[in-house]
């Protein structure tokens, strides 16, 4: 996890009530949102590798991160441990690509559209996926989750995400499924889906549930 002060409400990747399974947190000290989102600081790779290895030693079943921009470290982190690693909700765009109808694209909502780019897409193998990116820069949502503001107005954040979503699908009606890059966006996923006229919405919680369900298979009735 990044080293942050902002609130982690239910639905946020850092809130234990966001998942149907227990979580264990490891904070990478000094890994601020500025260094990860705005500066793409490659010197953070080593402490994230160390954090992943420590979590593996503690017996976790799988590892994710608290920021989708860490997609740039996907390959290195996956190679450093023997448990599944999924750094970013963006990984799901590769799954969605073959399901797109002719002319459709994936819509990506991100914390900051100015800095999310090819280095992130190539890190998780989605450079080939047709997509459009809309960011939350210039909003109170951005000031909280990129600026690390400890005060969150949930209703305002939701209104802003709804507005950006509506603008995206209005300007690009070819958008099909939507991926929420930002791990702080899942609390508003239903509102995004409604604003997008019922389009499917994917985020870090949907990816985590998929990974964990594959590791903890249930028995089926004999008949």
Question: Range(s) for CATH 3.40.50.1860 in the chain?
Answer: 89-207
Give the pLDDT of residue 223.
82
Choices 3.40.50.1860, 3.90.190.20, 3.40.50.10490, 1.10.10.10: CATH for 89-207 = 3.40.50.1860
Using a pLDDT cut of 90, give the percent of the chain over it.
98
Q: pLDDT tens digits, residue range 106-164?
A: 999 999 999 999 999 999 999 999 999 999 999 999 999 999 999 999 999 999 999 99
23-27: long-range contacts, CB 8 A cutoff, minimum separation 24: 24/55, 24/58, 24/60, 25/1, 26/1, 26/51, 26/54, 26/55, 27/1, 27/2, 27/3
Q: From edge to edge, which strands make up the β-sheet containing 175-180?
A: 131-135, 105-110, 175-180, 201-202
Instruction: State residue 21's pLDDT score.
Output: 96
Mean pLDDT computed over every residue of the chain: 97
- Give mean pLDDT, residues 176-197: 98
Can you tell me the mean pLDDT for 176-192? 98
Banded pLDDT at 174 (limits 50, 70, 90): very high
| Percent of the chain surpassing pLDDT 70 | 100
pLDDT tens figures, 75-94: 999 999 999 999 999 999 99
- pLDDT, tens digit, for every residue of 21-48? 999 999 999 999 999 999 999 999 999 9
C-alpha to C-alpha distance for 144 and 148, rounded to whole angstroms: 5
Task: Give pLDDT, residue 218.
Answer: 86
Q: Furthest-apart CA pair in the chain: how many Å? A: 56
Residue 66 has pLDDT above 90, yes or no: yes
């Amino acid at each position: 996890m990044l080293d942050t002060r902002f609130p982690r409400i239910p639905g946020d990747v850092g809130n234990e009530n966001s998942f149907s399974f227990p979580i264990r947190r490891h904070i990478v000290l000094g890994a601020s949102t500025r260094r990860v989102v705005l500066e793409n600081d490659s010197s953070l790779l080593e402490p994230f590798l160390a954090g992943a290895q420590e979590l593996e030693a503690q017996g976790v079943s799988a590892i994710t991160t608290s920021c989708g921009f860490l997609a740039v470290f996907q390959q290195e982190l996956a190679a450093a441990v023997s448990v599944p690693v999924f750094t970013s909700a963006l990984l799901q765009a590769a799954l969605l690509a073959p399901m797109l109808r002719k002319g459709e694209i994936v819509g990506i909502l991100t914390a900051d559209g100015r800095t999310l780019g090819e280095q992130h897409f190539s890190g998780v193998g989605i450079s080939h996926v047709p997509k459009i990116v809309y960011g939350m820069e210039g909003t109170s949502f951005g000031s909280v989750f990129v600026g690390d503001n400890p005060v969150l107005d949930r209703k305002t954040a939701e209104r802003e995400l709804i507005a950006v979503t509506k603008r995206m699908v209005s300007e690009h009606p070819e958008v099909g499924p939507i991926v929420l890059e930002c791990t702080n966006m899942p609390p508003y996923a239903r509102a995004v889906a409604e604003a997008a006229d019922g389009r499917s919405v994917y985020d870090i919680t949907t990816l985590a549930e998929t990974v964990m369900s594959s590791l903890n298979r249930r028995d089926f009735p004999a008949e």
